Amino acid sequence: MLTTTNRRVTIEDEYRARTRASAALHAEACTVIPAGITHDSRLTLPYPIFVARAAGPRKWDVDGNEYVDYFGGHGALLLGHAHPAVVEAVQRQVSLSTHWGASHALEVRWAQLVQRLIPSAERIRFTASGTEASHLALRLARAFTGKPKIMRFVGHFHGWHGEVVAGAMSHFDGSVPAGIAPSLLDQSIVLPAEDIPRIVETLQTRDDIAAVIFEPSGASWGQVPLPPGFIARLRDVTRKQGVVLIFDEVITGFRWSRGGAQARYGVTPDLCVLAKILAGGLPGGAVAGAKAIMDQLDLAAAKAAAREKIGHQGTFNANPLCAAAAVATLGIVETTDACERAEAAAAEIRNGMRRVLIEEGVP
């Protein structure tokens, strides 16, 4: 853009001019929070906007600028911001307590919704995040099979705990990420998802693999599609080899279809990891899967099966405020065309972006 003085005004100049309050808050944030941000993916240059409020598909920053929100709460907000049913459920709950530290009816309703929607969900255990759920799923699989190794795929993200970071976002060469014990790397077999013959051969020839975990959308939240036939082939070979198949449905759950990728593709894993939409825009995660595996969390059932019970704590598991938002959201997922509408909107956006890239000659 050119001004009357012919000085070139960049997008960054304009951004800075419009977001002075965000700039001030960011400067303040940098004195207390590393880089001034609380999630790596919120890093924005020269500094992020600071949001003041949001409604439906829009949000407004502290300078009063209005945005169309393509981020959707990191993918958690299938219904958009401040959906009336979710707001009402959370408001009702907050005065009854934000944390009973006890069993409650809402967690049962929440689990029942997951059980009805997700094909593999014979049993559900809630956690406070997707990262925690991925951690628990791997432990359940190791305990169930008595085997140590986990097969993962290059670029597939399963949260930020130490077992799953190498080869997911960085260190694709197998080197040790800073702060990770080298012995943890030894517990993963990380392969390229494109190489189905090598994956199958590894599963058929090794007898130390507890589980295979992957994003059924393909790596990096669906940016790198899986090769055709990948999911069905993995189901087939893991079943034959007695390896636990885990779908990481943190992104795809209640979005690829109301039953997640597993319902959309008609392939049922042994376990799946859920979060994001699961908790209706509040924090929460879950492992859902086969009763025989999940029963390791049940003292009596584990004893009856001559297994050791798996310990699982978590102060905020199935937090009632989260459960209230979740039950309101998943109820809408179950009874309306929310998923289909999201799918149609996404297709329209993809097609529009593709048209622009073609028109602009961007390869």
Ligand X SMILES: Cc1ncc(COP(=O)(O)O)c(C=O)c1O
Residues near ligand X, by CB under 6 A = 74, 129-131, 134, 157-159, 215, 221, 248, 250-251, 275, 285
Pairing outcome for strands 149-153 and 209-214: parallel
Find where tokens 């049913």 sit.
Answer: 85
**Cβ 131 to ligand X, closest distance in Å?**
3
Measure Cα distances from 189 to 163, 196, 307 in Å: 11, 14, 26
Question: What is the chain's Cα-based Rg?
Answer: 22
Closest CB to ligand X among 152 and 295?
152
Closest CB to ligand X among 25 and 190?
190
Looking at beta carbons, which residue is closest to ligand X? 130
**Cβ 233 to ligand X, closest distance in Å?**
21
**Cβ 134 to ligand X, closest distance in Å?**
6
Closest CB to ligand X among 41 and 205?
41
**Cβ 250 to ligand X, closest distance in Å?**
4
Q: Determine the number of helices (DSSP H) and then strands (DSSP E) in the chain.
A: 15, 10
Closest CB to ligand X among 15 and 221?
221
Q: Return the SS3 of 2.
A: strand
3-state secondary structure 188-217: EEEECCCCHHHHHHHHHHCCCEEEEEECCC
Closest CB to ligand X among 110 and 157?
157
Cβ-based neighbours of 279, under 8 Å, separated by 6 or more: 76, 285, 322, 325, 326, 329
- Judged on CB neighbours under 10 Å (0-12, 13-18, 19+), 181 is exposed
**Cβ 273 to ligand X, closest distance in Å?**
6
**Cβ 342 to ligand X, closest distance in Å?**
16
Contact 137, 163 (CB under 8 A): no
Q: How many residues does the chain have?
A: 363
Cβ-based neighbours of 303, under 8 Å, separated by 6 or more: 309
Closest CB to ligand X among 260 and 285?
285
* Cis before 46? omega within 30: yes
Closest CB to ligand X among 167 and 285?
285
Closest CB to ligand X among 22 and 120?
120
CA distance 29 to 266: 46
Other Cβ atoms closer than 10 A to 22: 23
Other Cβ atoms closer than 10 A to 93: 21
Find where tokens 């800075």 sit.
Answer: 16
Closest CB to ligand X among 50 and 153?
153
**Cβ 219 to ligand X, closest distance in Å?**
9
**Cβ 64 to ligand X, closest distance in Å?**
30
**Cβ 299 to ligand X, closest distance in Å?**
27
